Structure 1
Amino acid sequence: MPTQSTQNLATAGQESFKLKGQEEAKNRVVINIQEDKTGGIVLDKKQYAEVELTGNFFVDLGRKINHWLLTHSKIKLEAKANFFHLLSVMIDAGIPMVKALRSLVAQNDSNPRLQLILNGIAGDVEAGESLSGSMLNYPDVFIEQEIGMIESGEASGQLVKVLENLAKDTEKAHSIRSKVKSAMIYPLVIFFLLIAVVVAMMVFVIPKLKDLFANSGAELPMITKVVVGISDFMVNQKLILIAAVIVIVAAFMIIKKTDFGKYALDKFTISVPIFGRLFTLALLSRFARSLSNLIDSDLSIIKTMEITANSMGNEVYRKRLLLAMEDIKQGIPLAENLTDTNLFPPMLVSMIDIGEKTAQLDKITAKVADFYEDEVDTAVSGISKIIEPVMLISIGVVVGTVVAAIMLPIMKLTNVSGGL
C-alpha cells in the first residue's frame, strides 16, 4: 500500500471513494490531506464506513452515535460561502477543478462532513461529471438555486463569476438568518423561563400554602381559589397533562409535514404580530436576490421563477410564484402577475416592472434585495425595542397574579391575628 510520501494526487484520485447520494452514506470516509516533500497533495484515507466495535455495549453505542453525527452533521452557511469563494479564486488562478477541490478538502479539516462531500464531488468530476451534476447528489447541502446557477455558469464559461456571486449571497443569507434568529432568541428564552417559574410555583409552592390556608378556615379571595384550583389540577392530573403535551407536539409534527400544515404554518409566520414583518422582509430579500442572480446567470425567466419558487422556504410564496410562472408562459409579464396579491409590496412590483421594460431586471432586483436586507436590520432593531417592554409587562402580569394569589390570604390572616 502506498505511503503518504509516495501517494500523489493522481493515485489518490483514482483510489478515492465516491459518495453517490444519500443511499451510500454508510460508505463515507474521513480524509486527511497533507503535502509531500514536492508540494503535491496527498490523501491519507481512514475508513469510517464500518464502525469498529469493541463488544462493550456503551462504547459501541457511543461510537455509533458519533458516526451518525459525523455523517448527518449540517453544513453551515458560512462554510458553504467560504467553499464557493475559495473555489472561485482557485479556478480563476488557473488551478484545475479536481486539484482545487482536493485542496479545499485539506482546508476543511475541522468540518469532516464537508471533507467527505468535497472528496466525493472531486471523484465525480475526475470521472467526467460536471460540478453541478455532482452537487445533485447532495440535495441536503446544495439547494436548487445554487446548482442551477453553477450549471449555467459552466455552460456560459462564467463559473468564476457565478461562484463569487454565490459566496456573497450565501454570506448575506447567513447574516439575515442570524439576525432573524437573534431577534427570536430573547423572547423565546424569557417565555420558557416564565413557563418554568409558573409551573414550579404551581407544583411546589402553592400546594404547601394551600394547607396553611385550609387550616386557617378563612375565606379565600377569588384569585387565590382560581390559582389553587389550577395548582390542584396540575398536581393531581400530571399524567394527563404530560400525555396531552406529548399528543399535541406529536400532532403538530405530523400536521406540519402535510401540504396543508406547511401552508398554514408558513402563512402564520408571515402574519404573526411583530415578527411577521421581519419574516416577510427576509423572504422578499431572498426573492429579489434569487431573481437577480439567476437572470444574471443567463437562465430563462421560466427556469428562474421555478428555481426561485422552490428556494423560498415558504409555501405561501412558493405557490404564488409557481402560479406566476404559469402566467409568464402565457406571455403575461412578471410585474403584472404580482399586482393582485398583498405578498409583494407595490414598490417591489414597480421596480420589477421597470426592470422588465428596460431589460435590466437583474440589476434592479439586486438593488431591491439590498434595500430589503437593510430593512431587515431596521426591523430587528425595532423588534428589540418593542419586545423588551412587552415581555416585562407579560412577566409582571403572570407572576404578579400568582404572587397576589399568595399574598392576599397571608395578609388577611396577618390582620386577623393582629386583631386578636
Structure 2
Amino acid sequence: MPDFRYEVINTKGKSEKGKLAANSKLEALQILSSRGYIVSSIKQSASHASTRASMFPASQKEVSIFSRQLATMVSSGVRIRDALQVLSTQVFFSRRFRKIVTRVVLDIEGGMSFSESLEKTGVFEPLFTNLVKAGEAGGVLDESLERVADFYEGMVELQNQVKSAMSYPLFMMVFAVGIVGMISFFILPNLIGAFGGNFQPEGAMAILLSMNSILENHWPLLLVMLVGLLIGGYFFFKSRYGNVVKENIGKLIPPIRNLRNMTAMERFTRTTAVLVASGVDLPTVLELAGEVSQSPRVMKAVGNAIIGIKGGESINAALERQKVFPPIVVSMVAVGEETGKLDEVMLKVADFYHMQVQNALKKLVSLVEPIMILFIGGFIGFLAITIYGAVFAMEQSIG
C-alpha cells in the first residue's frame, strides 16, 4: 500500500503535515475529508510509489476502442476478467497494448481490482483510472466505461480533424523540398558542366553547389542521420516531454496559440462533465480536468482554485479569480452550481468549444494554404533568378 504525504488545515484551523497509507490518492482524500480536514495538497511518496507514469502513454485511439469494447461486454454480463482476456487477443490493438492488457488480466487474477491494475501499468491517464475506480465503487462500471469511450472518441475525432487540416500544407512542403532537390542535384550540375569547368559560381549558386557536393560525397551517412532523426522525432513527440515542447512551440504563433487555448477549454469542460457525472469528488475532478487540458496555465489556475474551494469558496468564484477561464465558462459553472446540473452544463460548454475549435481549424487551414503557396512560389522564383543570373555570368565569362 503506497504512502501519501499531505498538508491539511485541521479542525482547529491550523496547518498540519503528515503521511498516510492508502490504496490510492482518491482513498487518501476521502480518509482525510472524513476526519474533518481541509486538504491543501497531497502527493504520493516517491520512495513508496507503486507505479510510475510511462514515458509513452497508451494512444487515445486504442484507449477509445478498448473502453468501448469493454463497456459493451461488461454491460452484456461478461465478467471483467473474461472481457479483458478476449480484448488481449484482438489484432486491431498494437502488440504493446495487447501485452499491457494481458498484464492487467494477470494482476486481476492475483487479487487486484481493475482500477489498481490499470494504475500499475502506468500507461493509462489518471482520468481513465479514476473513472473506472468511481464506476467500481458505485457498481456502474459499464456506465463509467461508456463515458470514457465517449470522451476519448471525441478526443480522437479532434486529433483526426487536426491531422486532416494539416495534410495539405505538409504535402506542399514536401513538394517544395522535392523541387529544390531536383534543381540542386540534377539541373545545376549539368548546367555548370555545359559551360566548362572554368566558371566559379558565387552567392546562392555556390551554396547550392556546395550542398550538392556534400550530399554526393557523404550521402550514406546523411541518409542514416535523416532516418535516425525522423524515428527519434516521431517517438519523442509521442512522449510526455514531446507534448511539452509542442505546447511551447504553439505559443509562439498567435493562431495556433488561440486554437490550443480553445482546445484546452474544450478538454477541461468535457472532462469535468464526465467526472462529475461519474460521482468523482470535486477537487479530484478539477485536478484531473486540468491535467487533461494539457495547458500549464490551466493546471496552475486549477491548483489555485482548488485551494480556494476547499476553503469554502464557490467553484465559479474560485475559477473567476484566476483570470484564466473565459467568462462563458465561469458563468455556466455558476448556473450548474445553482441548478445542481454541473455535468450537463459543462457538457454543453464543451460542445460549444468543440464547434469553436472546428471553425478555428478551418480558418487556420485557409490561412496556411496561401502562405505555403506564396512561400513555395517565392522560393522557386528565387531559384529561377539565381539560375538565370548564373547563366548570364557564364555567358559573359565565355565571351
Q: Same fold (TM over 0.5)?
A: yes
* Alignment RMSD (CA, Å): 4.3
Aligned position for 2:208: 231
Q: Distance in 2 between matches of 1:172 and 1:124?
A: 30
Aligned position for 1:327: 308
Matched, 1:95 2:78: yes
Q: Distance in 1 between matches of 2:322 and 2:385?
A: 49
**Counterpart of 1:91 in structure 2: which amino acid?**
V
Q: Which moved more, 1:332-341 or 1:408-417?
A: 408-417
Aligned position for 2:337: 356
Match of 1:115 among 76, 86, 98: 98
Q: Alpha-carbon deviations, 1:81-106, whole Å to 9, x = none?
A: 23222322332233322223223334
Which secondary structure state, in structure 1, belongs to the residue aligned with residue 120 of structure 2? coil
Equivalent pairs, count: 339
**Counterpart of 1:397 in structure 2: which amino acid?**
G
Q: Distance in 1 between matches of 2:349 and 2:165?
A: 23
- Judge conservation of contact 1:207–1:228 (CA < 8 Å) in 2: no
- Judge conservation of contact 2:68–2:149 (CA < 8 Å) in 1: yes
Q: Alpha-carbon deviations, 1:37-80, whole Å to 9, x = none?
A: xxxxxxxxxxxxxxxxxxxxxxxxxxxxxxxxxxx998543432
Aligned position for 1:282: 263
- Judge conservation of contact 1:150–1:159 (CA < 8 Å) in 2: yes
**Counterpart of 1:301 in structure 2: which amino acid?**
L
Aligned position for 2:64: 81
Question: Normalising by structure 2, what TM-score?
Answer: 0.69
- Judge conservation of contact 1:132–1:147 (CA < 8 Å) in 2: yes
Q: Distance in 2 between matches of 1:155 and 1:101?
A: 19
Q: Alpha-carbon deviations, 1:211-255, whole Å to 9, x = none?
A: 7789898xxxxxx953224335545777xx99x999x99xx99x9
Alpha-carbon offset, residue 208 of structure 1: 5.3
Q: Which moved more, 1:154-163 or 1:347-356?
A: 347-356
Alpha-carbon offset, residue 206 of structure 1: 4.0
Q: Distance in 1 between matches of 2:274 and 2:160?
A: 22
Q: Distance in 2 between matches of 1:96 and 1:227?
A: 69
Q: Distance in 2 between matches of 1:104 and 1:139?
A: 19
* TM-aligned CA distance change 1:343 to 1:204, over 3 Å: farther
Which secondary structure state, in structure 1, belongs to the residue aligned with residue 293 of structure 2? coil
Q: Distance in 2 between matches of 1:317 and 1:271?
A: 18
Alpha-carbon offset, residue 292 of structure 1: 0.9
Which secondary structure state, in structure 2, belongs to the residue aligned with residue 137 of structure 1? helix
Q: Distance in 2 between matches of 1:338 and 1:205?
A: 62
Q: Distance in 2 between matches of 1:213 and 1:273?
A: 49
Question: Normalising by structure 1, what TM-score?
Answer: 0.66
Where do 1:135-214 residues align within 5 Å?
135-140=118-123, 142-199=124-181, 201-202=183-184, 205-206=187-188, 209=191
Alpha-carbon offset, residue 406 of structure 1: 1.1
Which secondary structure state, in structure 2, belongs to the residue aligned with residue 129 of structure 1? coil
Gapped runs of 5+ residues in structure 2?
A: 1-54, 216-221
Alpha-carbon offset, residue 132 of structure 1: 0.5
- Judge conservation of contact 1:105–1:115 (CA < 8 Å) in 2: yes
Q: Which structure's CA Rg is the greater one?
A: 1
* TM-aligned CA distance change 1:362 to 1:193, over 3 Å: same
- Judge conservation of contact 1:136–1:147 (CA < 8 Å) in 2: yes
Q: Alpha-carbon deviations, 1:283-306, whole Å to 9, x = none?
A: 221111111111112122211122
* TM-aligned CA distance change 1:358 to 1:213, over 3 Å: farther
Q: Distance in 1 between matches of 2:196 and 2:321?
A: 64
* TM-aligned CA distance change 1:386 to 1:83, over 3 Å: same
Matched, 1:304 2:285: yes
Matched, 1:398 2:379: yes
Q: Which moved more, 1:226-235 or 1:180-189?
A: 226-235
Which secondary structure state, in structure 1, belongs to the residue aligned with residue 203 of structure 2? helix
- Judge conservation of contact 1:88–1:163 (CA < 8 Å) in 2: yes
Aligned position for 2:108: 125
Alpha-carbon offset, residue 380 of structure 1: 2.6
